Amino acid sequence: MDSRQGNAASLLSNALQLASQGQLHPALISLDAAVRVKPNDAVLHHNLGILLRKLGQPSAARQALRRAHELNPTWLEPLLALTEQALEAPVAPAEERDSLDKALAQKAWCENNRALYLRGRLAEQNADPAAAEEHYRTALTQHPSLSVAQQQLACLLLSQERWSEAQEQLERVLKQHPGRADLLSNLAIALLRQNRLHQALTVVEQALAAVQGDEARASVLVNLGSILQELGDRDRARQIYQEALDLDPCKANALLNLGVLDFQQHDLEGAELHYRQALLLNPDDARTEVNLAGVLLLQGRTQEGWQRYEARLRGSSKLLQRPEGLPLWEGEPLTGTLLLVHEQGLGDTFQFIRYARLLQQRNIRCHFQGPAKLHGLLRRSCLIGHCITDGEPAPSDSAAWVPLLSLPKILKDQPSGERYLEADPQLVQSWQQKLGPTPGLRIALHWQGQPDHEFTVSRGRSFPLKILEPLLSLPGVEWVSLQKGPGSEQTQQEPFAKRWHPQQPLIDSAWDFEDASAILKCCNGLVSSDSGIAHLAGSLGCRVWLLLPWLAEWRWGLDETTTPWYSNHVLLRQSQEGNWSDPVYQLIEELQILARV
C-alpha cells in the first residue's frame, strides 16, 4: 500500500468513526481530505454522498454519488443511494426516475431485493401501479421476509382500494412486527372498507394503545373517528376528530370528516366550511374536493360544483379506464368522433348518456366505451355509433375522449327529463305475452343497490324488502321483482314469497338490461331505492317512485318531490333518518290514485 492509499484509508476510517458518534461536520472535513488524496476512489465518493445526505445537502450528495457510480458502474450501492435520494424529493424529475430505473434493471441486479423494492417505488412515482406491484411481488418471491416491500405493497393495495388483499398483506407484516401502530391503523381501514366495523374498531383501539407521538396519534384518532362514524356514533366521532385537531391542527383528514358529519346532519354551511379549510391544508386532496362539489351541486351551485367535481379524476380510485392514444376533450372544436367513457356505477351511465343527444345536436358523433351489457341498449337508442369495452382499441375515427360525468361542465346545459333510451319493441312484445294481461296494476320492485358502494353519506340508501310489506294491502296489484344479486334472497321471505307474479322465476333468470328494459315497459311503474335500475327506468320514460333516505345524493336535491333529470320520477323522502314509514305511506297513496285512474 502506498502512502496515499494509507492516508486515504486512515482519513476514511476516521470519518466513519466521527459520523458514528454524531460528529457529522468533523467527519465531512476528514472525508473531503480523503477524496483530495484519492479523487478517483468510488468508495470515498459514495461515503461522501451518504454523509452529505445526512447533512441535508442533497445537491452535493447527488453529485458525489453520481461520481461514485461513474467510477465503478458495476457497484450497486451508489446507484441504490441515488435512487433513495431521488425518492426523498417531493417529485423527482421524470427523466431522472427513468434513468435510475433503467440502470437498476440490469440483469446483474434483477434479483437484488433493494433494487426491486426501489424500482417499485419509482414505478409508483411514475403512476404505474401495475409495474410497482410486479416489482414488490418479485422481491417478496425471492425474499419473503423483506418487510419494506411487504409494507409498501400493502400501502399500494390500500391506495387502489383492494381492501381484502391489503388486509391479508398487513396481517402477514404484523406477524413480523406485532403491535406496530401504523400497521394496525392501516389494517383497521382495510377492515372498515369491507364493512367489518366491529373488527375494525378492535384493531384501531390496539393501534391507539401502541402509538407514540402527537402527529401519529392524531392519524390513528382520525381512523378511529371514521369507524365510529360508520357505526353511527357521530357525537363520539366528532369529539375524536376534535381531539386529533388539538394534537395536530393541520390534520386535513379530521377537517374533511367533520365536514362529512356536518353534511350528514344537513348542515351544508358547516360542511362547506370544513371542506374548504381542509383544502387550504391539502389543496390536492381529490376526495375533499369531490365532497365539496357534492355540497355545491346539492344547492344548485353548478358552475363551481361541476368544476370541483373534476377532481374525481385525480383520485386514486379506478373510476374509469382511460383510452390509450387519445387526448382528453375539454370542449374545443372537434374533427372526428368523440369517445364517451363509462365511469363509476351503471346508474351514472344511464343518467349521463343523455348528453350524447346534446352532442348530436352540436354535430358531434359519439362512440361509447364501457360494459358490454350496456351496448345493445345504447346502440338501439341511436345515441351511439360504435361500442367497445374497456381495454379495446378505440374506433379509428375517434378524435378524443371524455368521461361521461365531465359533460355537464363542458356543455353547460342540462337536457330535458324526457326519455332518451328505447327498449327493444320485439322484446317488449315477447315479455307482454309471457306476463299476460293484468286487470289492475303491475308494479316492479327494486330495493337493494350494491352493498360495496354504500359508505358514509351513501349508507342507508337501500332498504330491506320488508319495509314495503304495507303495499301488499293494496288490492288487485301484481308484484314483480327486478332485484338481482345482493338482496334477491329476500324475495323468498314471507309475506312476499307467495305474492310475486307467476312468471317471477323467468324474470329472475333474465339478467340482461335489454330484458329489464322490456319488463319495465310492461309494468305501470317501478318502486325503487336509489340505484341503477331507477336511472334505467327514468331514461326509458317509465314512472318511478324513488324512495330516498333522509340524506340523499346531490343529484336529487334537498327537498324536492320531482327532479329535472327524469320527468316521470316521484321522489319520496324520509322525514326522519332511518324511518321509511312516511315514504312508504306516501307511496301507498300514490298507487291508490293511480289505480283509480
Supply 519's cell numbers.
319488463
CA 71 to chain centre: 46
363: left (phi over 0), alpha (psi -120 to 50) or beta: left
Kindly list the structural domains of the chain, giving each domain's residue range(s) and its CATH number in brackets, ordered by start: 337-411 (3.40.50), 425-596 (3.40.50.2000)
Sheet holding 337-341, edge to edge: 387-388, 366-369, 337-341, 398-403
The string of pLDDT tens digits covering residues 142-156 is 888 888 899 999 999
Contact 528, 545 (CB under 8 A): yes
The string of pLDDT tens digits covering residues 22-45 is 999 999 999 999 999 999 999 999
Contact 342, 349 (CB under 8 A): yes
The string of pLDDT tens digits covering residues 68-97 is 999 999 999 999 999 898 888 766 677 888
**DSSP string covering 151-217, please?**
HHHHHHHHHTT-HHHHHHHHHHHHHHSTT-HHHHHHHHHHHHTTT-HHHHHHHHHHHHHH--SHHHH
pLDDT of residue 201: 97
Name 5's Cβ contacts closer than 8 Å, sequence gap at least 6.
38
Q: For the purposes of burial, counting CB atoms within 10 Å of the CB of 66, is it exposed (0-12), middle (13-18) or buried (19 or more)? A: middle
Answer whether residue 325 shows pLDDT above 80. Answer: yes
Give the residue among 354, 350, 366 at the shortest CA–CA distance from 413.
Answer: 354
pLDDT of residue 452: 65
**What is the pLDDT confidence band of residue 454, given thresholds at 50, 70 and 90?**
low
Q: ∠ CA 266-272-278 to the nearest 5 degrees?
A: 130
The model's pTM: 0.84
The string of pLDDT tens digits covering residues 352-406 is 999 999 999 999 999 999 999 999 999 988 899 999 999 899 999 999 999 999 9
Backbone angles phi, psi at 153, to 5 degrees: -65, -40
Give the residue among 530, 507, 524 at the shortest CA–CA distance from 350.
Answer: 530
Distance CA 464, CA 7 (A): 82
Backbone angles phi, psi at 542, to 5 degrees: -75, 155
